[in-house]
Amino acid sequence: MEKGPLISIRHPLWTEKNPRQDIPMLILTHQQWNSVQQEILAIGAAPVPPSKLGSNDKYVFALPARYNYAFPEGFEEVEDILASNPLQTN
């Protein structure tokens, strides 16, 4: 069993009454990422692995598969943000 952080970036207008799509980001070591790619380590129940957003010397930042499966309000905005490759690592 492996453990690691998950950061959720939340829209500033998000409320419990009106939730919006978060941007969840997995933070994996390179060893964990390699294990995911080799299908040794599975993250979640989705039949596809997470998508790599970027990396630096220590970590790989990834988007969980099916993070937006319910298509909550704001999912299109998140897709637009992610399509612009916003994560800059160094």
Task: Identify whether 14 is part of a domain.
Answer: no
Tally of structural domains, the chain: 1
Task: Identify whether 11 is part of a domain.
Answer: no
pLDDT in tens, 66-75: 888 888 899 9
Q: Which of 32, 35, 9, 30 is CA-nearest to residue 21?
A: 9
Q: Which of 54, 8, 2 is CA-nearest to residue 32?
A: 2
Task: Identify whether 30 is part of a domain.
Answer: yes
pLDDT in tens, 37-90: 999 998 888 888 999 999 999 999 999 998 888 888 999 999 999 999 888 876
Segments forming the whole domain that contains residue 54: 21-65
Amino acid occupying residue 33? W
CB count within 10 Å of CB 77 equals 13
Task: Identify whether 40 is part of a domain.
Answer: yes
pTM of the model: 0.85
The DSSP bridge partners found for residue 54 are 61
Task: Identify whether 86 is part of a domain.
Answer: no
Task: Identify whether 33 is part of a domain.
Answer: yes
